[in-house]
Chains A and B, each alone.
Chain A
């Protein structure tokens, strides 16, 4: 009896401790996590978004056979960067309409997008496209890369702790599985938060953990530093997780590089048609040249390197087909996080569940405020900390949507040949985001929520119209041309705009629990006064 009582207290206190942990570990990085989650979510359609942001480029239906395209792009590189010590050529696939190339020239790294049909360097509007959201979601902006990644890793660790403590705190994970109670204030928010967390739980755990594993080398370098002491050993480690082949010393002997097309043909014979993802060529046109033909990630749930290595004469030197078990775990987690292997249905599932994860973080942030406001005595003004959290919530949830929409508006409205155009798209994103924070500070909380959600809804809903006005690929023409990338982006923008309008209306109609109780009481008094009046006459 006594022992039983003791365990009960212990259990209660464990849950209480976990609850406190969950609340604070969730709140502190919550705003950054929300931004990481939302920009990461849209990154599942990074290539499609990049296409939408370069409306001048048609969706190529016939780029050509892999070997032919590879030959064409290699010739293009010879024109663009003849003296480079290395070329990297990204092969176009069904999701992209550009060939992203980069090269190393006098130890500076440069990149460009090529037209895969002609091999010409693209001079259409300069934009980072969907790559901006992708890069932002793990390294942010306006700060050194490694600082951003360290911050992202730190927030990721908080997230993992929040998930585990959240599962422990959630008392009735099975009995409340499908439960949603309307009009219960804090209770309703908790139900929504729980549902968003529980239904996507496998994804949330996977994406948080794999995100940490991807950046692991950066913030936990000591293990591998101890295990791999020499440069050669470290190189072997790298070779297991990335398709990197160290270049040989150039011999200074001019040799024309063997036929790239036949190397790609050989690779396609092994992996299947259009399965070549990238070509890496070091010391091109030198006798010491090396060509690495790298397998694409489509259709395999691992991005462990698989490649064929050729020398300058076109002889196959090595075929990398498998890696060790530890490296394979890394490769699988990496691939699961990015979902590049996914077909369109699975990609949509990734997007939707990740959006649920975003909403989980968002509802958690709101819940923190709702819970404390509900507890406030009647006439007390909220504490300054509570008000700050609320304002930060508004700008990081409502404001981020506006800023992301503004990024797309800038893409359509900035002059095509503006110097530093792609940088300005990004500056506008941050300027607008800062303005939403100022707005949230200046206005009462509820008004600020409503105004920002309405503004976000309008900005998203009008984007397809803006696209139709500024390009010849509006929704109607893309529908009739079966241009599914543009149709998909436009419809998704409309759906997200609708979601924001619904949220705005929900906030507008919402009466906080505290005030509603008072309202009902005063209604009651008025009602009784009416009865008295009626009785008196």
Chain B
């Protein structure tokens, strides 16, 4: 359960951080979001990643928890990257 929660939080956290970046805003929405929205998304992303750390350390202790956190952050960020790459690959086709 701790594992699932941590992973989902890491995934959402990194997705928020990606959405807060201009390049991906253009790719996803075709425009740049307002500065305020961007700032909020970025702050939320960091807070969610921090809450994942709290969850996993509470559930597994510092030593094992930090190892799990490292794994879940890598996997979460990797999945966001793959999703954005797949989105970038599908987009030109949809237009055609």
Write the residues of chain A forming the contact surface with B, with a CB cutoff of 8 angstroms. 175, 177-182, 195, 199-200, 202-203, 206, 299-302, 332, 336, 339, 341-342, 345-346, 349-350, 352-353, 356
In the bound complex, residues from chain A placing their C-beta under 8 Å from that of B74 are 199-200, 202-203, 349, 352-353, 356
Measured between beta carbons, the chain A residues less than 8 angstroms from B88 are 180-182
Residues of chain A lying within 8 A (CB to CB) of residue B68: 345-346, 349
Q: Which of B17, B77, B85 contacts A199 (CB 8 A)?
A: B77
Task: Tell me the chain B residues, 52-85 only, with Cβ under 8 Å from chain A.
Answer: 63-64, 67-68, 70-75, 77-78, 80-81, 84-85
Among B67, B72, B89, residue most surrounded by chain A Cβ atoms (within 10 Å): B67
Shortest Cβ gap from B61 to chain A (Å): 9
Q: Are A180 and B67 in contact (CB under 8 A)?
A: no
Contact B71–A178 (Cβ < 8 Å): no
Nearest chain A residue, comparing its CB with the CB of B86: A180
For the complex of A and B, list the 7 residue pairs with the smallest distance between their C-beta atoms, beginning with the closest.
A349-B71, A301-B63, A180-B85, A345-B3, A199-B78, A202-B70, A178-B18
- Least Cβ distance of A161 to chain B in Å? 22
Give the distance in Å from the alpha carbon of A329 to the alpha carbon of B78 in the complex. 29
Across-interface contacts of B80 in A (CB, < 8 A): 178
Q: Are B89 and A352 in contact (CB under 8 A)?
A: no
| Given A180-B84, A345-B3; A195-B63 close (CB under 8 Å) | no
**Interface check B21, CB cutoff 8 A:** yes
Q: Which of A178, A206, A349, A352 contacts B81 (CB 8 A)?
A: A178
On chain A, the residues within 8 Å of B31 by CB distance are none
In the assembled complex, the Cα of A339 lies from the Cα of B77 at a distance in Å of 21
Q: Which residues of B contact A345 (CB under 8 A)?
A: 3, 68
B64 contact from A178, A180, A202, A341, Cβ within 8 A: A341
Contact partners of A339 in chain B: CB under 8 A: 67
In the complex, are the beta carbons of B64 and A301 less than 8 A apart?
yes
> Can you list 11 residue pairs at the A/B interface with Cβ under 8 Å?
A175-B23, A177-B18, A178-B84, A179-B23, A180-B81, A180-B88, A195-B81, A199-B74, A336-B67, A346-B68, A353-B75
A299 to chain B minimum Cβ distance, whole angstroms, is: 7
Which among B18, B75, B81 has the highest number of chain A CB atoms within 10 Å? B81
What size tier do the contact residues of chain B reach? 20 to 34
The CA-CA distance from A175 to B72 in the complex, in Å, is 21
Which residues on the B side are within 8 Å of A178 (C-beta)?
A: 14, 18, 21, 24, 77, 80-81, 84
Q: B89 contacts A182, CB within 8 Å?
A: yes
Interchain CB contact under 8 A, B78 and A356:
yes
Q: Which residues of B contact A301 (CB under 8 A)?
A: 63-64, 67
B83: nearest chain-A partner, CB-CB: A178
In Å, the complex CA distance between A349 and B70 comes to 9
The minimal Cβ–Cβ distance linking B69 to chain A, given in whole angstroms, is 9
Q: A238 CB to closest chain B CB, in angstroms?
A: 24
Q: Is the CB of B71 within 8 A of A350?
A: yes
A332 / chain B contacts, CB cutoff of 8 Å: 63
Chain B positions 4 through 30: 1 when the CB is less than 8 Å from some CB of chain A, otherwise 0: 000000000010011001011000000
Set of chain A residues within 8 Å of B81, measured between Cβ atoms: 178, 180, 195, 199
A sample of 16 more A-B contacts (CB under 8 A), given A180-B85, A203-B74, is: A175-B23, A177-B21, A178-B14, A178-B77, A180-B88, A182-B88, A195-B78, A200-B74, A202-B70, A206-B70, A301-B63, A332-B63, A349-B68, A349-B74, A350-B71, A353-B71
What separation, in Å, do the CA atoms of A299 and B61 have in the docked complex? 11
- Whether the pair B21, A346 counts as a contact (CB closer than 8 A) is no
Which residues of the partner chain A approach B18 to less than 8 Å between Cβ atoms? 177-178
B74 to chain A, nearest CB (A): 5
Q: B64 near A203 (CB under 8 angstroms)?
A: no
Q: In the complex, A134 Cα to B84 Cα: how many Å?
A: 35
Please state if B78 and A346 are interface contacts (CB–CB under 8 Å): no
Which among B3, B24, B84 has the greatest number of chain A C-beta atoms within 10 A? B3
